[in-house]
Amino acid sequence: MRTRSESVRRLILAVFCGLLFGAATAGNAQTTNQASNYPAQLPYSFGNFVWWTDAELRSLLKERIQGLGDEMATTPEAIGEMRDALKALLAEKGIAAEINSEEPSISALTAQRDPEAPEPAIRFSILNPQILLKKVVLKVEPESFASLLQVDDLWGEGKLYSAFGNWFIRSRIKEVLHQNGHLDAQVQITQQPPRKEGSHYQVGLIISVVAGPLYHVSSITVDGGPLLAGKDLSPFYKIKLGDVPPSYPLAELESKIREFYLHYGYADLEIKILPLFDRKSALVSYQVSVIPGPVYHLRNLTIANLNPEQESKVRDLFGMTPGDIYMEEAITGLNYRIASEPLFKGYSFSYEPKKDKTEDVIDLSLKFFKPSDDSSVTIK
């Protein structure tokens, strides 16, 4: 059995001591996104309104705010009205509270998310009084897995509490169990009633884990796409029929396919790995498919912060010129080549490829700098 308890310790500690601490104390009482393309409506969520369940709180708010559904307007007025309603509910319990609201960024709205992560939402949390996590109780079935998942005092006990990180806990615990072949693991987090202690409140959590059956691999089917049609890719599987699958069973195969296609300019390559479960027999089969997308070419190469001699040398060393098939490996090659060139002693560079999907071309910017020089800028 492979042990991942150390990684869980570090990751959950980061959630409670970093991510959640920041979410519960985020600077201003209100952050407002004024981008013109920002959605007019978004879901909303609550971090530490520990006197109600999520369903109870939503029901109470819908009674107080006319027209409120499962989404709300993203205007300052609507967000202010929500904060005022939350303050009023707390005041009815004798609690004078400061409420924070935080809207998701534009990038967060379209970013790829962990399967356990909730959809982006306007988040509301209590800044004051402070809500602290007092105790975490871990219940595991079977009990033999308790030591694998036990994180002792690193759950964030005594730190600011927020339910916004519950998905992260579920994700990391499932990752540990998935690494050991328990692909149907279930994690439930239950919050205990709050208790007032001095000027703050404390809550406890019960984390219930059911490992589920141990799975084995029944089959692997790979469609390598047009460039690898008919090729035997089994040497890159790293698992065989009958094995207990890890969390990322075909990671090396995916890496090799991606590397191969990128060499031929397929910068939009998509690789899908679909697990199919036979839960009655605790078997899993994997189907791999490749969607190559278009072939990209280099349109422009911009080099910043070098003198003419250095820039000319970089273009010679780069090995890819406008019009060529775009190859990511050329950037890695350049990094190795300039390391042995006296002309670039002390230099490093960053790069920024920008795709034009209408023409299947890429404009590439290379920004050179010396690590001690933070004033360099990219010239485009």
Query: Model confidence over 40-64: pLDDT tens digits?
Result: 999 999 999 999 999 999 999 999 9
Strands 122-128 and 41-46: parallel
Average pLDDT over residues 33-44: 81
Contact 277, 266 (CB under 8 A): no
Q: Is the pLDDT score of 11 beyond 70? A: no
Q: Is the pLDDT score of 216 beyond 60? A: yes
Query: Could you identify the residue written with the tokens 């306007």?
Result: 122
Query: What pLDDT, on a 0 to 100 scale, did the predictor assign at position 113?
Result: 86
Average pLDDT over residues 63-71: 96
Q: Is the pLDDT score of 146 beyond 90? A: no
Is it true that domain 216-291 has CATH number 3.30.565.10? no
Query: What pLDDT, on a 0 to 100 scale, did the predictor assign at position 299?
Result: 97
Query: What pLDDT, on a 0 to 100 scale, did the predictor assign at position 45?
Result: 97
**This model's pTM is above 0.75:** no
Q: Which residues pair with 45 in a beta bridge?
A: 123
Query: What pLDDT, on a 0 to 100 scale, did the predictor assign at position 373?
Result: 55
Contact 131, 48 (CB under 8 A): yes
Q: Can you identify the CATH homologous superfamily of domain 297-369?
A: membrane protein fhac (3.10.20.310)
75 — pLDDT class (breaks 50, 70, 90): very high
Range(s) of the chain covered by CATH 3.10.20.310: 5-11+130-210, 216-291, 297-369
Q: Is the pLDDT score of 21 beyond 60? A: no
Q: Is the pLDDT score of 376 beyond 70? A: no
Distance separating alpha carbons of residues 17 and 190, to the nearest angstrom: 20
36 — pLDDT class (breaks 50, 70, 90): low
Q: What is the pLDDT of residues 272-282, one digit of tens each?
A: 999 999 999 99
Q: What is the pLDDT of residues 155-212, one digit of tens each?
A: 677 889 999 988 988 888 898 899 889 999 999 999 999 999 999 999 999 999 999 9
Topology of 5-11+130-210 in CATH?
Ubiquitin-like (UB roll) (3.10.20)
Contact 369, 350 (CB under 8 A): yes
Q: What is the pLDDT of residues 171-180, one digit of tens each?
A: 888 988 998 8
Q: Is the pLDDT score of 328 beyond 70? A: yes
Least confident of 16-20, 189-193, 217-221, 288-292: 16-20
Number of Cβ within 10 Å of residue 62's Cβ equals 14
Q: Is the pLDDT score of 313 beyond 80? A: yes
Query: What pLDDT, on a 0 to 100 scale, did the predictor assign at position 5?
Result: 42
Contact 190, 54 (CB under 8 A): no
The C-alpha angle 124, 129, 133, rounded to 5 degrees, equals 80
Q: Is the pLDDT score of 17 beyond 70? A: no
